Amino acid sequence: MADSATTAQRPLEALTAKDYRSEVKPVWCPGCGDFGVLSATYKALATLQIPKHQVVVVSGIGCSSRSPYFMSTFGLHGVHGRALPIATGVKLARPDLTVLVMGGDGDLMAIGMGHLPHAAARNIDITCIMMDNQTYGLTKGQASPTSFLGHKAKSTPYGVFARPINPVLMALASGATFVARGYSARPNQLAQLIVEGIKHRGFSFIHVHSPCVEFYNTYDYYDERVTDLPPDWDRHNLRAAIDLALTESQVHLGIFYQEETPAYDERLRQAAPERKEFELRRFLEEKHM
């Protein structure tokens, strides 16, 4: 019989990455970058040993937004673009829960873009994993807000005329307190970024290049360009992080920026610590009599 010290070191029921996998099989195409992101997410949760029922994964619509179904945690597969406000409600109602948002470039940079600056500015304590394949995979290959200028897709036969939106720059400009970038072909590094993102108290934004093999295969492009952050990178320097996000010759991976500042729920509880029971009669007498 193991004594308590041994049990503490090595819990008999330690969760493994596999435990976070559901019985639903992913519907993604073979070779899709999202497999790498999903397994990195399993791994990150196992690293942190967060009980399955204390995790809520919220998503919108798109290939990557199917992620919650493939996880054995709680999840909410909502409507297109609204994962961030739904997750905001989950977290503010229940600060004890670990809340992840998983979605794509269409969900978070197009239809749902209006919510990103607000979730970031409020510093809602959630981790947003944006799987960027630069295309609309689920609707079969239209251009997305992160498609490269000139990209010829079904909906843009003469090429995309808009410059691609830079998600890392957008998150930094919005005031996100944790901003990182990963690559689905480097799942171990990505898992570590997700671990750090979850541990960060506040709004964590993790931009992940996750190529679409079917409609916009960019593996070669990113394999050539991804690189680690410069040595001795100071992740607390916002201006330097913005400069790095603007770099076009290389695609840097790692934690661009991190800032410790109270999350929305912490500020709320600091400002209004009082907690009393509601009693209708007393309330009406005090306010309306």
Residue 51 vs 150, nearer CB to another protein = 51
CA dist 115 and 84 (Å) reads 6
Tell me how far, at minimum, the Cβ of 288 lies from another protein, in Å: 5
Tell me how far, at minimum, the Cβ of 287 lies from another protein, in Å: 8
CA dist 9 and 55 (Å) reads 23
CB-based contact 264:125 (threshold 8 Å): yes
Residue 10 vs 288, nearer CB to another protein = 288
Tell me how far, at minimum, the Cβ of 40 lies from another protein, in Å: 20
DSSP state of 174: H
CA dist 68 and 52 (Å) reads 12
Residue 77 vs 201, nearer CB to another protein = 77
Burial letters for 92-119: b for 16+ Cβ neighbours within 10 Å, e otherwise? beeeebbbbbbbbbbbbbbbbbebbbeb
Residue 24 vs 162, nearer CB to another protein = 24
Which residues are at the interface with another protein (CB under 8 A)? 22-24, 52-58, 61, 66, 68-69, 71-79, 82, 84-94, 96-97, 114-115, 118, 122, 265, 268, 271-272, 274-278, 280-281, 283-285, 287-289
CB-based contact 250:225 (threshold 8 Å): yes
Q: Which residue has the tokens 């409507």?
A: 79
Tell me how far, at minimum, the Cβ of 26 lies from another protein, in Å: 12
Residue 10 vs 281, nearer CB to another protein = 281
Q: How far is CA 194 from the centre of its chain?
A: 8
Tell me how far, at minimum, the Cβ of 275 lies from another protein, in Å: 4
Residue 96 vs 232, nearer CB to another protein = 96
CB-based contact 254:228 (threshold 8 Å): yes
Of residues 257, 245, 254, the one with CA closest to residue 182: 254
Total Cβ atoms within 10 A of residue 22: 14
Work out whether strand 178-183 and strand 251-258 pair parallel, antiparallel, or are unpaired: antiparallel
Tell me how far, at minimum, the Cβ of 278 lies from another protein, in Å: 5
The residue type at 244: L
Tell me how far, at minimum, the Cβ of 127 lies from another protein, in Å: 15
CA dist 280 and 23 (Å) reads 47
Residue 136 vs 183, nearer CB to another protein = 136
